[in-house]
Structure 1
Amino acid sequence: MRYNERNLAICRRLIEQQLGWGNPLTWQNQDYEMLGQRIFERTKVSLSVSTLKRVWGKVRYENMPNATTLNTLAVFAGYENWRDFKMKNPAGSDLPPDERTSVETPPGPSLHRDPGISVAPSSPESFRALAGRGVSPAKNRFKSYFLAGAGAVVIFLILFLVYWKSSSKNENVSPADFSFSSQPLAKGIPNSVIFNYDALAAGEDSVFIQQSWDVRRRTAVPKDRHEHLSIYYRPGFFKAKLLIGDRVVKEHDLLVPSGGWLALVERDHIPVYFPAKELIRNGVLSLPLPAIKEKNIPLQPEPPVVSYYYVRDMDGLKNDGFTFEIQLKSDFKQGSAICQSSRVTILYEEGMISIPLSIPGCVADLGLFAGSTMIKGSEADLSAFGCDMQHWVTLACRVRDKKLVIHVNGKKAFEGAFNDPPAAIVGIQYNFAGTGSVNYARFSRIDGTAVFSEAF
């Protein structure tokens, strides 16, 4: 196993320990969907199910993941970025014991040897070649082990000293010596946001502004200036950060509105956008298949994920007392989109309620996010979320007195505790495998007062 593969294996193991979902060899498609949702919630970066399956070896793939994927996984695991993860987990570090048996050999047709392992001679000729140099195979292996071990110790000490020096350099920085604020410049997406900052007290340390959890959106800024502009490609609620070196000294909430209804096809960084005029026809919100094909977006073998967003301040409506109703259906049932998987997500500050739907035969793959609680279709009865997705499905969600109740087509599908702290609701998001339609959507307070209503 090469060093980068060893680092990736350690990162996978850390994520598996955080999730507590058991042996990844038993994970199903729904687990990767839920992992993708969790990663997006924390990092605001969308990693596809196929990407995650490649990372975990469910799909044969010879190459290492790209920099975007590695950075995102590292942030989700609790690090600043992939470089920070590698510094704190040197290449010579051992894998956890149970990881060695499950991921030591990378997927794919080619196997890579660990640089620290000597391979015994495979033929009499190679054995004699070693003997002819006056070095026995056993001594040669001992020498290789010794040199590899000594090299790993030296690398570890160098990385530790570099990290210690960079960390101690800004440990005495006081957040009170800095200021940081922001203001979106537009009403839609993409949206440039102007950040105002004062970082003169940084001294010799570098100054960075980071849009959110996504470390790819971290930018070095001059400490003697006071303005910086940055682009947001998706709407939502973010935690913008001002960093001195590797330390966050200021952060604040930032709501980037969608500017009305927004439709896009998800991509790892910049999504594919569709104009509003293509979305609403005959009283229905829908992105037609011809519009997707015109953008040269393939529908097979893996269908695209179409997302509709509506993000704005909801007039003080909070997640601890509300009712939400919607009517929707799937418009694509070809090839690998046979399950017609769809998802309705209620967005609030630093959290979400995310409700899945599919045809009845695929409910074992569903995953419900009831705030900070996750319910898996393979471990609980989510059969009520299985519907005829080619016809309109009516979904109702209510939170009251710390209890979440969800109805599907007039029947109770779920009831459970909702213990997330009170937070402002900031919008809604719909996801469809392929594409789908929405007939109406509305938010109201517990007393029935309408806050948002859209019948298109």
Structure 2
Amino acid sequence: MDKSTLHIKNHLVRQIEDKLGWGIGATWGNKDFEELSEQILKKTSKRISVTTLKRIWGRTEWLANPSMATLDMLSEFIGYENWRAFVRTNEHELPKPENVKKAKPLTVWIPVIALVLLGSFFGFFWKTDANLKKDVDGSKTYEPEDFVFSSRPVSMGIPNSVIFDYDVSAASDGARVEIQQDWDDTKRTAIDKKDSIATSIYYRPGFFKAKLVLDSVIVKEQDVFITTQDWLGIIQKNPYPIYLNSEDIHKEDRMAITPDILADHKLDPRTDRVIVSFYQVKDFGELYTGNFEMSVLLKNDFKEGVSGACQAAQVFILYDGGAIGIPLAKKGCVADLELLTFEEFVDGKKNDLSDFGVDFNAYVRLKCVSKNRKLEILINDRVVYQMNVPDTELKIKGISIHFEGAGSIKNVAFKKDKEIVYQSDF
């Protein structure tokens, strides 16, 4: 598959993600690919296997050359007669072939929760490889120190504009210079080498790695920390989430996103997959991954239809550069769960995650305790998992909690040495 065709295929994948509204494909679990396969069958009367879909999305061995029949089915799924019709309609929106970057498989974690589910949920660890990039005359090698790249959010809250200050005067006159918002290389904006300021809007809170890109090579990275003013409730939609009013989600003794709130936004979790999220992203002070305790009571409040089949939930503890992701669901759905440790994804299809199957008829007590380079996960006061903690302590940056359908939380707390660092007021 040549570069132009490859880019059009990736464009097709993104349009399918937008149609589904489940967040980016890198955040999907096996259940999502199974549901996509069923939706394609319902729409086209033809089936694409879950394995093929995972390969197209780069979740297993990447499929660079899908068959024409597969491309026709994917195109038909989003309303086109076939692949050729999709190409004809979308060619004009694509970059010129010489600017197309070869796609990489989506194989690792997205440390941003953009969720969404989420979300992903979500990533890539990108490696800056500028020192391997020669200038167009073949005689010069770029070093990260050759460039200046920094960021500054203009306010608190979401959405938030970020100002990037840069100096790329060391680049050759013919170089293509871009800024990339986060892990997603489709979110690149070309910038003028002669300028020194560029701006970008972030629609979700979290910790991001923005990138300065020179001729498709990442030459420098910059941390972007988008905070919330307090708890933020979101209905996950692509490309823009729905922000909920604080007074709508704050109840007397809990915080909740209810089916009534979804109905106000013309969403029915019985017939469509709906993901809702709570975020508290802030600087908690001297709270680090090597010594902390987090606790929360949570409950998935929706049991019906598409979104309520498994009553799935996921809690992410965000730290500087990544996240710990703890999944919960009905016991019958634990094979679809994925646990994110400091080091890896733990797949419920290959590992026993049955202890993460819960009964959401009552609130579930989730606790994480990190001490002596070990982190224990407790559910209803019983240890269900233990993971290693890196020697390098990383600062805790926030928490996000996600539900399929609807959900509620209360009694959120962070502690250090048994002293309360943060406690919710609900």
User: TM-score if structure 1 supplies the norm length?
Assistant: 0.67
Structure 2 gap segments, 5+ residues each:
11-21, 85-96, 103-132
Shift of 1:54: 7.5
The 1:223–1:7 alpha-carbon spacing in structure 2 relative to 1, beyond 3 Å, is closer
* Residue 169 (str. 1) matches residue 136 (str. 2): yes
What per-residue deviation string (whole Å, max 9, x for no partner) do you get for residues 214-270 of structure 1?
223211112222211110001111111122222222211111112211111112321
Distance in 1 between the 2:237 and 2:38 partners? 21
Shift of 1:360: 2.5
Name which of 250, 254, 262 aligns with 2:220.
250
Name which of 356, 360, 380 aligns with 1:409.
380
Distance in 2 between the 1:222 and 1:192 partners? 19
For the aligned residues, what is the CA RMSD? 4.2
* Residue 189 (str. 1) matches residue 158 (str. 2): yes
Shift of 1:450: 1.8
Report if aligned partners of 1:189, 1:233 keep a CA contact under 8 Å in 2: yes
The 1:5–1:359 alpha-carbon spacing in structure 2 relative to 1, beyond 3 Å, is farther
Query: Counting helix residues as a fraction of each chain, which structure ranks higher?
Result: 1
SS in 2 for 1:281: coil
> Equivalences for 1:96-245 in 2 at 5 Å?
169=136, 172-202=141-171, 203-245=173-215
* Residue 328 (str. 1) matches residue 298 (str. 2): yes
SS in 2 for 1:169: coil
Report if aligned partners of 1:258, 1:311 keep a CA contact under 8 Å in 2: yes
Distance in 1 between the 2:31 and 2:202 partners? 25
* Residue 440 (str. 1) matches residue 407 (str. 2): no
**Largest Rg, 1 or 2:** 1
Report if aligned partners of 1:75, 1:214 keep a CA contact under 8 Å in 2: no
Match of 2:272 in 1: 302
The 1:75–1:200 alpha-carbon spacing in structure 2 relative to 1, beyond 3 Å, is farther
Letter aligned with residue 146 of structure 2: D
Match of 2:253 in 1: 283
Shift of 1:105: 10
Report if aligned partners of 1:36, 1:49 keep a CA contact under 8 Å in 2: no
Letter aligned with residue 205 of structure 1: A
SS in 2 for 1:292: helix
Which shows bigger deviation, 169-178 or 279-288? 169-178
Percent identity, please: 31
Q: Number of residues paired by the alignment?
A: 356
The 1:59–1:4 alpha-carbon spacing in structure 2 relative to 1, beyond 3 Å, is farther
Report if aligned partners of 2:182, 2:208 keep a CA contact under 8 Å in 1: yes
Letter aligned with residue 367 of structure 1: E
Match of 1:362 in 2: 333
Report if aligned partners of 2:134, 2:141 keep a CA contact under 8 Å in 1: no
Letter aligned with residue 178 of structure 1: F
The 1:269–1:37 alpha-carbon spacing in structure 2 relative to 1, beyond 3 Å, is closer
SS in 1 for 2:186: helix
Distance in 2 between the 1:180 and 1:5 partners? 30
SS in 2 for 1:428: strand
Report if aligned partners of 1:57, 1:106 keep a CA contact under 8 Å in 2: no
Shift of 1:305: 0.4
Report if aligned partners of 1:75, 1:213 keep a CA contact under 8 Å in 2: no
SS in 2 for 1:378: coil
Name which of 272, 287, 291 aligns with 1:317.
287
Shift of 1:420: 7.5
Shift of 1:404: 2.1
Name which of 229, 243, 252 aligns with 1:259.
229
Distance in 1 between the 2:3 and 2:303 partners? 39
Letter aligned with residue 283 of structure 1: D
Shift of 1:112: 8.8
Distance in 2 between the 1:339 and 1:333 partners? 8
Structure 1 gap segments, 5+ residues each:
12-34, 41-46, 79-84, 90-94, 115-158
Report if aligned partners of 2:101, 2:216 keep a CA contact under 8 Å in 1: no
Match of 2:26 in 1: 39
Shift of 1:160: 9.6
What per-residue deviation string (whole Å, max 9, x for no partner) do you get for residues 246-304 of structure 1?
22222111111122111111123211111212111102111122121111123232330
SS in 2 for 1:216: coil
* Residue 375 (str. 1) matches residue 342 (str. 2): no
Report if aligned partners of 1:370, 1:404 keep a CA contact under 8 Å in 2: no
Match of 1:339 in 2: 310
User: TM-score if structure 2 supplies the norm length?
Assistant: 0.71
Shift of 1:406: 1.2
SS in 1 for 2:290: coil
